[in-house]
Structure 1
């Protein structure tokens, strides 16, 4: 299953950028992961960009009001989609102002990484770390312990 992350804006925080690059490198061993950085702007324009970039994918919109899964539940959800024939999943991360309502309505899944509001660059880092953790779990590798 192809994974795509559609994020508004490029990471500016050096430590977040370094972590994002590290987990992208790690994930490259296991899956096809594409990270698209989309132009910042008014929330509605950002939303339109996110929806266009995620066409043809199962849309997972990251939002603190979404469903809160643990890592095993996240793994199970991804595996169920893959077993059900889903060819690709796109994770949508809004900019500093969050998502436009139209993006939430277009979601196949609203997912919370935490009930806390996360700065969007940190949310991207947490998402990539969890995707990597799921891959190591699936393969029985020791990272997840």
Structure 2
């Protein structure tokens, strides 16, 4: 499965840039993971860009109002999508104003990384870490030893 992460704006904080680069590098061993940055703006503009960029894929909207998943539940969801023959999954991180109801309603999954509202750069690093963790679990690799 091709995983695309679409984030509004580019990371400006050093630790986010470093974390993003590190997890993207690690993920290259496990398949196709692509990070795209779209222009930041109002929630309407950003959500419209997310909708256009995610056509034809499983849509995962990251939003604090979404479903909270354990890592094991996330592994099961991704594995189920792969078993159904889904080719693409798109994970969408919005700007500071969040997502529109239209984008959330179009999602296959609205996922809350935490009950806390996370700054969008930090959410990107957490998402990439979880995708890396899922990939190692699917391969049967011990994450803590990689």
TM bin, normalised by shorter chain, reads over 0.9
Question: What's the counterpart of residue 96 of structure 1?
Answer: 96
CA distance in 1, matches of 2:102, 2:12: 27
Deviations 1:10-47 (A, max 9, x none): 00111011000000000011110111100011211111
Are 1:136 and 1:144, in contact at CA under 8 Å, matched by a contact in 2? no
CA distance in 1, matches of 2:140, 2:58: 26
Stretches of structure 1 lacking an aligned partner (at least 5 in a row)? none
Q: 1:144, CA displacement in angstroms?
A: 4.8
Q: Does 1:85 align with 2:106?
A: no
Question: What's the counterpart of residue 50 of structure 2?
Answer: 50
The root-mean-square deviation of aligned C-alpha atoms, in Å, is 1.0
Are 1:137 and 1:144, in contact at CA under 8 Å, matched by a contact in 2? no
Deviation above 6 Å: which 4+ runs of structure 1? none
CA distance in 2, matches of 1:50, 1:13: 23
Deviations 1:37-94 (A, max 9, x none): 0001121111111111111111000111111110011001000010011111000110
Residues 50-129 of structure 1 mapped to structure 2, 5 A cutoff: 50-129=50-129
CA distance in 2, matches of 1:44, 1:6: 15
Residues 144 and 111 of structure 1: is their aligned pair in 2 closer, same or farther, counting only changes over 3 Å?
farther
Deviations 1:95-130 (A, max 9, x none): 111111211111111111111110000001000000
Stretches of structure 2 lacking an aligned partner (at least 5 in a row)? none
Q: Classify the secondary structure of the residue corresponding to 2:29.
A: coil
- TM-score w.r.t. structure 2 length? 0.96
- TM-score w.r.t. structure 1 length? 0.97
Question: What's the counterpart of residue 5 of structure 2?
Answer: 5
